[in-house]
Amino acid sequence: MIQIRTATTDDIPAMLATEQAATAYPWAESSFQSSFSERYFNAVALIDAQIAGFYIGELVAGEASLFDIAVHPRLQGKGIGKALLNHFLDEAERRQATDCWLEVRASNQTAIALYQQLGFHQVGVRPGYYPAPGGNEDAVLMALSLAMPSL
């Protein structure tokens, strides 16, 4: 069973290990450390009390941004990413965000399909945003409105 809880700075080593296993271009430890202040909301997913994945979110001026999300490769395809993304959206709503934003590698069709399944839509492209073998890769900018329609 997947359990999700608020991440703490004590979780950084496990989050970093997950990030390093899941991506060819992981964040530095200092990036994780700087993502634990008042404007950030971060969570970890646990399987059998072990960190299986995480997300790092930020709320500024009513907009929630998903900065990083990763699931350990051994545990991908088990619903952990979807559970983390749903938690992020619930937390953004709880914090009264009106919109959610994220960027994803254009080649990451699995993640793009998940984001679309949960209501995100493409709003732009950042050319050459991510490092990639032999050059750079575009980022797809995606958004989801959480604002309630006015009556």
In the chain, domain spans: 2-145
11-23 per-residue burial string, b: 16 or more CB within 10 A, e: under 16:
bbebbbebbeebe
The tens-digit pLDDT sequence of the chain (151 residues) is 999 999 999 999 999 999 999 999 999 999 999 999 999 999 999 999 999 999 999 999 999 999 999 999 999 999 999 999 999 999 999 999 999 999 999 999 999 999 999 999 999 999 999 999 889 999 999 999 997 655 5
Tell me whether residue 55 is one of the annotated catalytic residues.
no
The matching CATH number, chosen from 1.20.1250.20, 2.40.110.20, 3.40.50.300, 3.40.630.30, for 2-145 is 3.40.630.30
Determine contact, residues 71/55, Cβ cutoff 8 Å: no
Catalytic-role residue among 19, 55, 115, 130 = 115
CA atoms within 13 A on the CB side of 16: 15
Q: How many other C-beta atoms are found inside a 10 Å radius of the C-beta of residue 116?
A: 13
Task: List the strands of the sheet with 50-60, edge to edge.
Answer: 2-6, 40-47, 50-60, 63-71, 99-105, 135-145, 121-132
Single-letter amino acid, residue 119: G
Catalytic-role residue among 91, 103, 130, 137 = 103
DSSP per residue, 34-94 = TT-STTEEEEEEEETTEEEEEEEEEEETTEEEEEEEEE-GGGTTSSHHHHHHHHHHHHHHH
Q: What is the pTM of this model?
A: 0.93
Alpha carbon distance 53, 84 (integer Å):
8
Q: What is the pLDDT of residue 134?
A: 86
Tell me whether residue 103 is one of the annotated catalytic residues.
yes
